[in-house]
Structure 1
Amino acid sequence: MQHTRLAAMPCPIARSLDRVGEWWSILILRDAFAGMTRFEQFRASLGIAPNMLTRRLNALVEAGLLERRLYSDRPPRHDYLLTERGRDFRQVLLALLAWGNRHFAPEGASVQLIHAESGALADPVLVDRATGLPVDGPAFRIVPGPAAGEATHRRLARSQAAPQASTGPAGPGPEGSAA
């Protein structure tokens, strides 16, 4: 089965999913944030087949989220290090961690985010850098950007006209599938 390439879509969510939407990729990035850099470390942590791990690492390198650095010539061995683009993904991982703990951990959290100095539990929220306000509030809505095509304008116009009760207090969710 041919995988649909989302990179050509104008939607930023589709383009992002094209790079990291496969679950192994997200788990590899999670492990990279935990300090893992070597093929065997990722394989042992994830229990992933070597051929699948090779494909996922290559895709993450190609997407610019990881950088491959040779550490042994014979045999050739590489470290996989987070790039600036990869390090930017940390916010997404923290949001997934908080969302997963809130909605899919009836037994309680197995992983938590804490403040390093105080040890206090942290509850990450996405805020606007300029105002400091949480972006899930009514002060924010999604609108077409300067590069938006006609289909995106139509879709977002429909979503702005939709009743707020069906989309929650923040309005419609992020850009959908057909931007």
Structure 2
Amino acid sequence: MNCSIARALDQVGEWWSLLIIRECTLGTTRFDEFQERLGIARNILTSRLNRLTELGILEKSAIEGHERRQGYRMTPKGEELFPVLLALLQWGDKWAPGPNGGSVRYVERENGREVAPVGPKSADGRPLGLRDLRMMPGPGATASTQARIDARNAAVLGESEAQGADH
């Protein structure tokens, strides 16, 4: 599928994969810790850790104080998934909260202020929503992609194909 979202989901869209990455952001490194904290079957955990390692999202590393044992840590590619997790957390707190609200808050380390909602922003910092953005073809766009972009801009923004071509 000629879609960056589909390709990203192929790598990390499976439930356990995102929860393993979440655990990494919480400092989990060892196989037994992942298993205990997630309640995941050993064979599924092994499969997901292997896949995330093959994709370069996680890497094996020696466990401090136990150099013969290996654990897992996020690579820079894996760390760049943090905003995705934060966006899911914020969305879940708003639309699927627990009975007492969210269980975790992220605040800035230096000043304790809660982080702003994750999402697209204008050059001057204003939050932008679905209807504030026009889609344009990227370098990998095909004729089919262009047709989908035109249809989206028409449906969401009320633009005709001619209006989209003018921008």
How far apart are residue 73 of structure 1 and its match? Answer: 7.9
Question: How far did 1:137 drift?
Answer: 6.2
Distance 2:102 2:62 in 1: 37
Query: Retained in 2: the 8 A contact 1:61–1:67?
Result: yes
Question: Which amino acid counterpart does residue 129 of structure 2 have in structure 1?
Answer: D
Higher relative contact order (CA 8 A, sep 6+): 1
1:26 corresponds to 2:18: yes
Structure 1 or 2: more helix by fraction: 2
Query: What is the correspondence of 1:1-40 to structure 2 with a 5 Å cutoff?
Result: 9-40=1-32
TM-score, with length taken from structure 2:
0.82
Amino acid at match of 1:105: P
- Matched-pair contact (CA < 8 Å) for 1:68–1:80: yes
- 1:68-79 mapped onto 2 (5 Å cutoff): 68-71=60-63, 77-79=69-71
Deviation per CA, 1:3-47: give whole Å up to 9, x if none.
xxxxxx221100100000001000000000111111111101100
The one-letter amino acid paired with 1:13 is I
Residue 146 of structure 2 aligns with which residue? 153
Equivalent position amino acid for 1:115 in 2: E
Report the aligned-residue RMSD: 2.2
Give 1:163 shift: 4.8
Q: Is the 8 A contact 1:113 1:123 kept in 2?
A: no
Q: What SS is found at the alignment partner of 1:162?
A: helix
Structure exhibiting the larger radius of gyration computed from Cα positions? 2
Cα distance in 1 for partners of 2:83, 2:122 equals 13
Cα 1:30–1:129 shift into 2, 3 Å:
farther
- Equivalenced residue count is 155
Percent identity, aligned pairs only, is 44
2:107 alignment partner AA: I
**Where do 5+ consecutive residues of structure 1 fail to align?**
1-8, 166-179
Gaps of at least 5 residues in structure 2 are 159-167
